[in-house]
Amino acid sequence: MTTTSPETSLALPLLDVAGREVLFTEARTANTFSDEPVADETLASVWDLAKWPPTAANTQPVRVTFVRTPEGKERLLPLMSEGNRGKVEAAPVTAIFAADLDFHEFTEQTFPIRPEMKDAFEANGREGRSAMATFNATLQIGYFLLAARAHGLATGPMAGFDVGGVTAEFFPGGRHRALLVVNIGHPGPDAWFPRLPRLAHSDVVRWA
């Protein structure tokens, strides 16, 4: 699904139209899911693809908990907004994404050319690291959604949940902060709402 640009031998491969459709123009947020399961191996493969795009200083602060058991769903459902509970209940797997506020503990592993950065991050404290952790973990969630699409899966991101409650229930101890809940699976009946409009190029893009 890629072609090579003829302009120069140093050019990166180009994703063809079909690949762009899968990831962007034809991809949709799913609101219903079939009962077809998603294998652990597939979820692992999604992460193995999603882990490669960039984060600041290669910090990689996102953490994910996959919820698929009845017991896990029972813990999560009361913490979702009422309109999202049915979606979580029906989805074969739901991912809870969080930012690790102590991401710096991995700095010697993830950024070995600057191991001294660990001490600088440590001195900032969790609140001082919070903005960096949240921004970069949010980037990684976007990468994960695209990686899931690349595996033929539909996703349903949801911000309607009790952030403090989900954090306390699934990430106790103060190290993590829940950011987003995402249903993952194969689309069910009437999965797609009508496509909403996007802003025009002229509304967004400026040149300097």
User: Is 51 part of any domain?
Assistant: yes
Residue of 189, 191, 187 whose CA lies nearest to 38: 187
**To the nearest whole percent, how much of the chain has pLDDT over 90?**
94
Judge whether 7 lies within some domain. Answer: no
Average pLDDT over residues 171-195: 97
96 membership: H or E segment, kind and range: strand 93-100
Q: What range does the domain containing 154 cover?
A: 28-192
Give me the amino acid identity at 68. Answer: R
* 4 found inside a domain: no
Cα distance from N-terminal residue to C-terminal residue, the chain? 34
- pLDDT band of residue 102 (cuts 50, 70, 90) is very high
pLDDT at 196: 95
Residue type, 13: P
Confirm whether 3 is domain-assigned: no
pLDDT at 8: 59
Q: Using DSSP, state whether 168 is helix, strand or coil.
A: helix
Residue type, 175: R
Q: Which among 109, 79, 113 is positioned nearest to 94, based on CA atoms? A: 79
Q: Tens digit of pLDDT for each residue in 66-97?
A: 999 999 999 999 999 999 999 999 999 999 99
Residue 152 scores a pLDDT above 60: yes
Q: Where are the alpha helices (DSSP H) in the chain?
A: 17-20, 40-50, 70-76, 82-90, 107-110, 117-150, 163-170, 201-204
- The two beta strands, 2-4 and 176-185, are unpaired
Q: In this structure, how many other beta carbons lie within 10 angstroms of the beta carbon of residue 136?
A: 21
Q: Which among 25, 29, 6 has a CA at the least distance from the CA of 191? A: 29
Is 175 among the domain residues?
Answer: yes
pTM for this predicted structure: 0.94
Q: Does residue 9 belong to any structural domain of this protein? A: no
Contact 80, 88 (CB under 8 A): yes
- Domain with 93 in it: what CATH number? 3.40.109.10
pLDDT of 5 over the 60 cut:
no
112 and 106 Cβ atoms separated by less than 8 Å:
no
Taking the C-alpha atoms of residue 65 and residue 153, their distance in angstroms, rounded to an integer, is 18
Residue 6 is predicted with a pLDDT of 58
169: in domain: yes
pLDDT value, residue 4: 59
What is the arithmetic mean of pLDDT over 27-54? 97
Is residue 113 over pLDDT 80? yes
What's the total number of domains in the chain? 1
In a domain, 83, yes or no: yes
pLDDT given at position 11: 86
For residues 138 and 135, give the distance between their C-alpha atoms in angstroms, rounded to a whole number.
5
